Amino acid sequence: MTVIITAAELARDLAGPTPPTLLDLRWQLSAPDAPAFDARAAYEAGHLPGAVFVDLDRELAAPPGPRGRHPLPDLAEFGAAMRRAGVSASTPVVVYDGGQGWAAARAWWLLRATGHPDVRVLDGGLTAWEGPLSTEVPAPAQGDFAPLPEATGVLDADSAAALAESGVLLDARAGERYRGEVEPIDRVGGHIPGALSAPTMENVGPDGRFLPAADLRDRFKALGVSGDAPVGVYCGSGVSAAHEALALAVAGIPAALYVGSWSEWSSDPSRPVAVGPDPR
């Protein structure tokens, strides 16, 4: 099954007999001292016709705390939010955001990890869409999606550390954060010992669309992803890492996600921190 969809393919599917449910995941990571991005206002100013707004911070994550800035949501509450948005198990879902792809990937990952069989991300996001936009806020019929009682493919701090030793653990953040040269958000900079730097923005081209699958496979192979060992990903708070997991899926490589990511790992002073370009 494909995990991304082009704007042209989406336009075709929306005009077909079984159009997908559309979810708008407009979101931006803001520095602590910067004004918050008003995602709802951006959605109301113009979105794909029929798309329902989903709030990443409130509906795809629990409140920030010891488990990180975007820990897993309560799955019962997540299921209720998805049903309010019109999500049903038998209907395909397409998610998109403003173009960066991180928030859409978080929705893709969470829906797939909790059992939805058919979720795709609009490649390139809203900026790739060439059709009309709407300011009408839809009132979708109640969906029937019921998430699994436990998400699959999830790493915690201990299993992420173990995977860095026994498999491949990729750090999706920018290289300077991995190396510990800057840390604008979390308590300390650096990375999980043994993790490899693999900035997720290197998985896309200048237009924000994913590189071809063959190019992604070559990139991950160069990072040590051979297919013989399990793969995991993390980032600052489990959002851009979902984008890396999506890139791996495009390449045909399954990966687990450390949802708490660096925001959880670095909050505990007893956990080791590596700095510099070397994994250890």
Q: Strands 196-197, 168-171: parallel, antiparallel or unpaired by DSSP? A: parallel
Which amino acid, residue 11?
Answer: A
Selected catalytic residue, list 235, 251, 253, 259: 235
Tell me the pLDDT of the chain averaged across its residues. 95
Same fold: 4-128 with 154-265: yes
Checking if the pLDDT of 34 tops 80, the result is no
Q: Strands 168-171, 231-234: parallel, antiparallel or unpaired by DSSP? A: parallel
Q: Is 108 exposed, middle or buried (0-12, 13-18, 19+ CB in 10 A)?
A: buried
104-161 residue pLDDT tens: 999 999 999 999 999 999 999 999 999 999 999 999 999 999 999 999 999 999 999 9
Which amino acid, residue 148?
Answer: L
Structure confidence at residue 33 as a pLDDT band (50, 70, 90): low
CA distance 58 to 142: 19
Q: What's the token pair of residue 267?
A: 């909050």
35-49 residue pLDDT tens: 777 889 999 999 999
Residue 100's nearest CA partner among 21, 199, 28 is 28
Domain positions in the chain are 4-128, 154-265
Q: Match domain 154-265 to its CATH number in 3.40.50.150, 3.30.70.100, 2.60.40.1080, 3.40.250.10.
A: 3.40.250.10
163 is known as an active-site residue: no
How many other CB atoms sit within 10 Å of the CB of residue 158? Answer: 9
191-204 residue pLDDT tens: 999 999 999 999 99
CATH class of 4-128: alpha beta
182-230 residue pLDDT tens: 999 898 999 999 999 999 999 999 999 999 999 999 999 999 998 789 9
What three-state secondary structure class fits 159?
helix
